[in-house]
Structure 1
Amino acid sequence: MLPQSVILANSWWSQTQRPILFSLFHCFYASTNLSTSVSSPKTSHIDKDCNDFLPWLEHKAGAEISSALSIGKSSYGKALYAAKDIHIGDCLLMVPYSVQLASDNLPSEITCLLGDEVGHIAKVALLILHEKMLGKKSKWMPYISRLPQPEDLHSTILWSNEELEMIRPSALYEETLKQKTQIEKDFCAVKLAFDQFPDHFRDVTIQEFTYAYGLVTSRAWDSSRGVSMIPFADFLNHDGTSESYVLSDEGKRHSEVIADRDFALGDEVLITYGKFSNATLMLDFGFTVSCNRYDQAQVELNVPQHDALYRQKLELFDRFRTRSIKDVNEFTSSGNSFTIKEVKRGNGKGKGIPQSLRAFARVLTCNSQQELDYLVTEAVQNDGRLARYPLKNKNTEIAAHQLLLSEISQLIEEHNRYIELLVPNPPYLCGKGLLRRRLAQDLLTGELRVLKSASAWLKNYCSTL
């Protein structure tokens, strides 16, 4: 599902976000054109193949889209460059809703065949396949023909099972499998349209549908129309330090981008897709950012079935279910899976390790019904959250955090083992295989940094308590 747009100071404005898919990470959206561009090349390499694109789009819109930007090529694919000096606060582009692709662009005879279980992403993917099949007859051909090819997309939903094995220690592995399963369900749900309109779709395969699905999740933005692909704006690459977003004005029915800094003629113009970890960037966009400050890791805890208080602890967790740590831009902590972010200071308060995780560990280390009853009383008398405060018994408090330390140490060991398998790169690897191997290295290295920071804090906490 899509995260809700963030409402800004003026209520008619919304900060449009890339769509983010389901469950564990609560995320959704990848492509070469959407790859990160950490540094801005000073020399613009104009993409001659796109000289007619902006005039076509402006003619279709009946309005100017941008006088400040031109389409060029970077090492990451298509990009937008400053066609003149740009100053902070300048409007970089303005794209009317009328030239954005959304599910309501699907022909009504196709839409009526789709059940309620078919979401906006699948519908827009279906729209792309429909327009591609029309070829030169498509009114969107100048845009559709410039979308990345399958070999240019590197979202993990497009990775082979062998490639996914490289990231098995990461929670991204399981999340990718879940999303692949969802895509297969959506494919079955839209297959009726393929069968009813063979001239429109011919023999569409699951691979073709997954490719179209990946185009949508990487390029579309949440909007009042559900999910919208915004031509020209989707050539903007990501910079994690940027403060510029795609903004949607529901009243004026257009999307625009405002410059957050000055750009000189020829500079690549960048925006932010959000404060995403490398796991989210790989899942949704197919790229990573080196030394990503938003990286995170997942830790899972379970009540052992051999625990003498197994049922009591499960009932307690169900009764006092700790509020999950949730960020609409990221994966979420839910149930017994917890998100850890980097702990900046080994001797600080442990910010980055969620209180819900520490609470879970405290309950796990309780050895008597009396201890559990005390935690219930404490929760009721305070803010209702279970095991929010350090345990009165220091030895038990230390044991709880040593339990966490043990779990995190196992994850560190596993990440180290897989990173060693990835480095160095085999000499025979090149192209897509080499790129995806490096993405896997970036992912695991970033998560390892987070896990090590948590480990250092836990060791310090246990030793100084």
Structure 2
Amino acid sequence: MTGIALLLFYFSWAVSTVMTRQNSIPSEDNKSQVNALIPLWDMCNHTNGNISTDYNPDQDRCECLAVRKFTAGEQLFIFYGPRTNADLFIHNGFVYEENQHDYYPLNLGISQSDVLREKRLKILSKLNIDNIVFRLKRDAPPIDGYLLAFLRVFNMNEEQLNHWLSSERSDDLQYSDCALDTVLEKKTWTFLQTRMKLLLAAYKSTLEEDEKFIAEASASPNQILAVRLVATEKKILNCVLEYAEQYVKQ
């Protein structure tokens, strides 16, 4: 283009625009999938729901079904897919604060120096817990049974580990009403409470400060967007913290 400099910013914007708007459709010979751009779908913003877009081979066209009832003149939304806010931020350039599929990845593991490591791992193996990345959510409850079981096993003493190694009901560890020693339960929830406090303390600002920053709208759009993402993370951590504190107080 004469007289127009191809700046990296515009190139990156163009690539990102195309990469986030690709839709898979059958090739003409139906032997593979090819990417297509569907401009009409690009006009639709994201909302919670289920995938309602698909290719209709009988009509040789892509179709989009409404995720709910819309009235005349109302903005039409579609569901982009089960993506976290981090994914939406990176690939789509926005943060959806009411995202039902958002989660905070919590990394936990058994220390190599733990003298009871092998016994803990055996119980976790019985429970099919081999993933050390757990998902924290804002839903109720904000933690799943796998994380709850991991936390309990992580905080057990040797006698408790031996009991659950020989038990045929180790799956019960995934349930909140599992009958356990009160000291172990207290230790489990206190551990989760402390971990949430440490994660929140690692941020340079509080959630209240983030919300004030967003409300003032004096920064650049990109800065505000980044703070919105961080704020959603803190809301999840705060939700888990409050949940753990309820059990600590029992």
- C-alpha distance in structure 2 between counterparts of 1:242 and 1:388, whole Å: 28
- Indicate yes or no: 2:242 matched with 1:438: no
* Structure 2 match to 1:358: 148
CA distance in 2, matches of 1:443, 1:359: 29
Identity %: 18
Rounded to whole Å, the distance in 1 between the matches of 2:72 and 2:211 is: 40
Of 57, 66, 69, 1:261 maps to: 69
- The separation in 2 between residues aligned to 1:244 and 1:362, in whole angstroms, is 37
Q: CA RMSD in A?
A: 3.4
Give the equivalent residue in structure 2 for 1:280: 87
User: Quick one: distance in 2 between partners of 1:455 and 1:374?
Assistant: 29
Partner AA of 1:232 in structure 2: P
Determine if contact 1:246/1:255 at 8 Å carries over to the other structure: yes
Map of 1:377 onto structure 2:
166
**Aligned partners of 2:23 and 2:38 also within 8 Å:** no
Name 1:404's counterpart in structure 2. 192
SS of 1:221 mapped into structure 2: strand
Query: Residue type matched to 1:357 in 2?
Result: L
Match for residue 244 of structure 2? 458
Q: CA deviation at 1:239?
A: 3.4
Measure how far apart 1:242 and its partner are. Answer: 6.2
Q: CA deviation at 1:275?
A: 4.6
Report the Cα distance in structure 2 between the residues aligned to 1:258 and 1:363, rounded to whole angstroms: 46
Q: Counterpart in 2 of 1:348?
A: none
Q: Please give the TM-score of this superposition, normalised by the length of structure 2.
A: 0.76
* Equivalent-residue separation in structure 2 for 1:386 and 1:223 (angstroms): 45
Q: Distance in 2 between matches of 1:359 and 1:321?
A: 11
Q: Distance in 2 between matches of 1:250 and 1:222?
A: 13
Structure-2 change in CA distance of 1:217 and 1:245 (3 Å):
farther
Check the 8 A contact 2:70/2:76 in 1, yes or no.
Answer: no
Structure 1 unmatched runs, 5+ = 1-134, 136-148, 153-206, 323-333, 345-350
Query: What letter corresponds to residue 183 of structure 2 in structure 1?
Result: N
1:235 is the counterpart of 2:42: yes
Counterpart pick for 1:340 among 129, 136, 150: 136
Q: Tell me how far 1:339 sits from its aligned partner.
A: 0.5
How far apart, CA to CA, are the structure 2 residues paired with 1:343 and 1:231?
A: 34
Are the counterparts in 1 of residues 21 and 38 from structure 2 also a CA contact under 8 Å? Answer: no
The answer to whether the Cα contact below 8 Å between 1:343 and 1:454 also exists between their aligned partners in 2 is no
Which residue identity is paired with 1:365? N
- For 2:22, the equivalent position in structure 1 comes to 220
Q: Please show how residues 6-405 of structure 1 align to structure 2 within 5 Å.
A: 151=9, 212=15, 214-223=16-25, 225-226=32-33, 228-241=35-48, 245-259=52-66, 260-264=68-72, 267-318=74-125, 320-322=127-129, 335-344=131-140, 351-368=141-158, 370-378=159-167, 381-382=168-169, 385=171, 387-389=173-175, 390=178, 392-405=180-193
Q: How far did 1:423 drift?
A: 6.5
Aligned length: 234
How many Å apart are 1:366 and its aligned residue? 1.4
Whether contact under 8 Å (1:291, 1:446) holds in the other structure is no
Please say if residues 142 and 239 of structure 2, whose CA atoms lie closer than 8 Å, have aligned partners that are also in contact.
Answer: no
- 1:362 deviation in Å? 0.8
Contact map agreement 1:422 1:437 (CA 8 A) in 2: no
What is the identity, as a one-letter code, of the residue corresponding to 2:180? Answer: K
Could you state the TM-score of these two structures normalised by the residue count of structure 1?
0.44
Give the whole-Å Cα distance in 2 for the aligned partners of 1:318 and 1:448: 31
Equivalent residue for 1:449? 235
Q: Which has the higher contact order (CA 8 A, sep 6+)?
A: 1
Equivalent residues of 1:359, 1:387 under 8 A apart: yes
